Structure 1
């Protein structure tokens, strides 16, 4: 039994430590994930503001290029003949070189309404139709008609001029250009000067978003990549099939506008669409290329300024998705470090707790053993007294009979009555032991009878057939209940004069319960019964009483799943009733 107690105690400590570490692990992981999420959200806000500023700067830069293309168009207008048939490619090539342009192309509107690239400094452009260039072809017709260009599409609109965004050349898919288109009705052709991507590329490399993303990734080891993606064309490039069957990609419809996209997942397309359609952040954790990644998809919407990106139908977009990919292994490493630290701290605490628990358990074990020893000593003393009384009565039986005979013969009836009363008292005491049924309980009641006699308390009892077979081994707890109940009653009646000092005890071992009732004289019994008598520390007595007796009774009764009630039988009698299941 003792070994089982130690095993239960040690197992409980180990279980608590395991539960504590598991709870700590999950809480720490949640906090680290939450911290990473907040960091990425904050980074996303910073990137968004920086992207807006750099995009505005790039728009202004491209607008300035558009103005320069318009100025070049006006210069070309005065340098060339009014009739396109009198202009040669060599003239255009020389003029393009002087104006620091990549090329110059002249567009002519034919009788059938088609607009073609009629003359150019680039031979690849000559005689190429624009009928499939939507919306460029529509804008060309508006310029030839002298209309203002629709501002809903990308580009820069100036008087008699429009310049579109940088885009892949229709005649050379390896080059990217920015074209300007000028027509004021003074010529029979439209002037189209254009420049390559060099200037914008140098601008982006120096101050653009790609440079910003590279700097952020290099300054934070946990960041893997940052991307700004087109949610409606991601992840595939928009491709146009030309008349000759060739394929041409479009910059303004490219899926990744800025940044890199190396850590690809089959969930990315759905996550990008979900973030853009719901306007809520989407987070996904998974392994990509042996790296445990933590991706956050942040939708960004721009109301005032248009982005240099369009949807699959060529319509300008006012939003994009920012994708930030982080290395989740850094969280795992922090979590591992934290768990190791906690494990070390736990071991230190356990090395202190285990000896402390052992000392505490030994202390309470010694207290219990002392209490048991006191009960056993009392029990032995009372049993010895009983046996001694029986032996004395047996030894003196003949003498007592002779004494009774002599007193009767001498007619000393008064003395005879006194003598027989003494004998009856001893016999009654022995019968009490026999009727009660349990030696330890009988011994306790016998000792309390002696105590009551000394205090001049009328202590009557009616305790019978208390064998406690169903509570074998728990006689100590039953005696603790009885002892504290009787002591509490004695303490109460000692406050009154001798004539009022009355205590009665009732005890029966019934079919399914042990029933104990004790009642005593008590002024203001109803008020006393309503007070928190069973609360630890509560006491109505003065002096050294600590209010523990009744609380001890309550804890023992609760331990055995019994019932403990207090009530006022009348204005001056209080009763305590205990029932313990057998």
Structure 2
């Protein structure tokens, strides 16, 4: 009785220990999962913000181009109203004309030595303004005066017209303006109407990056902050420009923070993370403590989409995630685990008591059932042996009879059939429609995902015997179709197609795969089945698919050929003789 009690307590202790270990493992697994979820949420938020900012920037460029077109219309209208000589135009005329045309101001620019300066303007600060140090803007003015058209890649270019990107005004950097410049050779000056960027500002207030990220933070309280870091200037000494009016300002493209806020600052580490994320083009994520607050920081690079506009700069999106959410989830998990342990321990105790009682009550019954089952299994085994012996004796008696009757040809045919049946049973896994249908179906799904027109036809009916193992038919068809898929991915979507055909011909299984694309020359066709050789330009292909295919076809004494011409495309044809492997007729 004492031994039984000791055994009961040992089993009970083992059960409790297993429950504790299981819950501890579950706890740490849950923690790892939560951390991974935080990283994924940070990356997802950054990618969503990036897409939203890209859409916003595209919309802004469209609005900016529309403003540029309106400025050209205003310039053409002003040209018809003004004297072609700047000396005969007054500043008052320009001020009145600006109001009538709905622009902020109009300035007339003329060459002066090696400079181009403002000579008349509705804004007195524009008069005498030099443009010689304006970089590509000055180049645009020179081209406009010389050729009546601008060819530099920057800015908006129309007939006799050029418009630069939105930026700070040199005469008043507190304002952000949009300028247009028109010259068709009929005047001795460049017409320069411009407007304050009211439309862009209003659009930014309605759909700008700050509006977008604030909504994302509001929808996900675990996100504490999102920031757009300027890769070119963040962490560097602030690039301050001085206007001709003597004011200092930071240009739009030199702002260290393009959008969002920057409150959770670790300047040195943040600078390093921004540089590393952009230069490796990979997200950087780590856990840190900022001002006693445990957070998760992620940095996701966003390369400049177009470098033909001055406003396009590369940036990195930073996401600060509240790490306390993980602790809260883990605390809830701990409470749940303790509660679970208590319940499971009680249930285990009750279960152990029931099990021990059932063992005691059913011990004799279990022994009896086990003996009966053993006897039945032994009887089945002897029945199987007798059946095998009976078949063996039949085969021996048949062979002996043929020998007695000296029917050697019949004996030769019988033993040949017997050997062929054994060889077929042991060595060949015959497959029918399901195996072919499975590989075709899997490739059809891949083709749909890659937007490839996958055409397939098998002229095989009934429960046909391919004479090829399921593994090998999958290898042969799979490698040929994958090779064709890779080749047509270089073509436009409407030209992508792959054709798979299967049929019997002269006792052979014929499989052919055809695709359009680049024509192979004789040197490539001679090397294409060599291990490691590939016609693909990327490094993601080992060059082993066709080599493995040829080896498996050769195993069945078959052949594989390749034909390639501009009209028919590239065709791989496999021929496998079935009479060596299928059932004899």
User: TM above 0.5, one fold?
Assistant: yes
Identify the residue that residue 346 of structure 1 maps to in structure 2. 341
Shift of 1:272: 1.4
Change (3 A) 1:201 1:234: same
Contact 1:228 1:323 in 2 (8 A): yes
- Give the counterpart of 1:83 among 64, 69, 85: 85
Change (3 A) 1:143 1:274: same
Contact 2:107 2:193 in 1 (8 A): yes
Q: With structure 1 as the length reference, what TM-score do the two structures score?
A: 0.55
Between the aligned partners of 2:228 and 2:138, the Cα distance in structure 1 is 29
Identify the residue that residue 254 of structure 1 maps to in structure 2. 255
Gaps of 5+ in 2: 361-369, 379-585
- Give the counterpart of 1:322 among 314, 317, 331: 317
Between the aligned partners of 1:104 and 1:247, the Cα distance in structure 2 is 24
Between the aligned partners of 2:118 and 2:10, the Cα distance in structure 1 is 93
Q: With structure 2 as the length reference, what TM-score do the two structures score?
A: 0.55
Between the aligned partners of 1:235 and 1:78, the Cα distance in structure 2 is 51
Identify the residue that residue 104 of structure 2 maps to in structure 1. 102
Between the aligned partners of 1:538 and 1:44, the Cα distance in structure 2 is 68
Change (3 A) 1:137 1:309: closer
Asked which structure has the greater CA Rg, the reply is: 1
- Give the counterpart of 2:69 among 56, 62, 67: 67
Between the aligned partners of 1:129 and 1:224, the Cα distance in structure 2 is 46
Shift of 1:165: 1.5
Change (3 A) 1:67 1:276: same
Between the aligned partners of 2:28 and 2:150, the Cα distance in structure 1 is 60
Shift of 1:39: 3.0
Between the aligned partners of 1:165 and 1:291, the Cα distance in structure 2 is 41
Between the aligned partners of 2:198 and 2:371, the Cα distance in structure 1 is 91
Identify the residue that residue 141 of structure 1 maps to in structure 2. 142
For residues 111-134 of structure 1, give each alpha carbon's deviation from its aligned partner in whole angstroms, at most 9, with x where no partner exists.
2x1122222222222212222222
Between the aligned partners of 1:54 and 1:348, the Cα distance in structure 2 is 55
Contact 1:151 1:157 in 2 (8 A): no
For residues 284-323 of structure 1, give each alpha carbon's deviation from its aligned partner in whole angstroms, at most 9, with x where no partner exists.
22233444332222223465x458655xxxxx54x43222
Contact 1:168 1:174 in 2 (8 A): yes
Between the aligned partners of 2:35 and 2:7, the Cα distance in structure 1 is 42
Shift of 1:326: 2.4
Identify the residue that residue 283 of structure 1 maps to in structure 2. 285
Identify the residue that residue 577 of structure 1 maps to in structure 2. none
Identify the residue that residue 36 of structure 1 maps to in structure 2. 38
Contact 1:228 1:259 in 2 (8 A): yes
Please report the RMSD computed on the Cα atoms of aligned residues, expressed in angstroms: 3.7
Identify the residue that residue 222 of structure 2 maps to in structure 1. 222
Q: Relative CO higher for 1 or 2, CA cutoff 8 Å, sep ≥ 6?
A: 2
For residues 106-164 of structure 1, give each alpha carbon's deviation from its aligned partner in whole angstroms, at most 9, with x where no partner exists.
222112x11222222222222122222222222222222226434532x3111221111
What is the SS of the residue equivalent to 2:153?
A: coil
- Give the counterpart of 1:337 among 332, 341, 346: 332
Identify the residue that residue 452 of structure 2 maps to in structure 1. none
Alignment of 1:486-505 (within 5 A): none
Alignment of 1:302-321 (within 5 A): 303=305, 305-306=306-307, 317=313, 319-321=314-316
Identify the residue that residue 445 of structure 2 maps to in structure 1. none
Change (3 A) 1:252 1:75: farther
Contact 1:146 1:184 in 2 (8 A): no
Identify the residue that residue 121 of structure 1 maps to in structure 2. 122
Between the aligned partners of 1:243 and 1:98, the Cα distance in structure 2 is 29
For residues 61-120 of structure 1, give each alpha carbon's deviation from its aligned partner in whole angstroms, at most 9, with x where no partner exists.
110000001111112212222222232222222222222212222222112x11222222
Between the aligned partners of 1:184 and 1:78, the Cα distance in structure 2 is 12
Shift of 1:355: 7.1
Between the aligned partners of 1:232 and 1:264, the Cα distance in structure 2 is 18
Shift of 1:16: 5.3
Shift of 1:542: 6.9
For residues 208-258 of structure 1, give each alpha carbon's deviation from its aligned partner in whole angstroms, at most 9, with x where no partner exists.
333222222222222223333321122455322457765321113323333
Between the aligned partners of 1:194 and 1:150, the Cα distance in structure 2 is 21
Alignment of 1:448-467 (within 5 A): none
Change (3 A) 1:208 1:308: farther
Between the aligned partners of 1:246 and 1:362, the Cα distance in structure 2 is 94
What is the SS of the residue equivalent to 2:259?
A: strand
Contact 1:253 1:309 in 2 (8 A): no
For residues 442-473 of structure 1, give each alpha carbon's deviation from its aligned partner in whole angstroms, at most 9, with x where no partner exists.
xxxxxxxxxxxxxxxxxxxxxxxxxxxxxxxx
Alignment of 1:292-441 (within 5 A): 292-301=294-303, 303=305, 305-306=306-307, 317=313, 319-353=314-348
What is the SS of the residue equivalent to 2:147?
A: coil
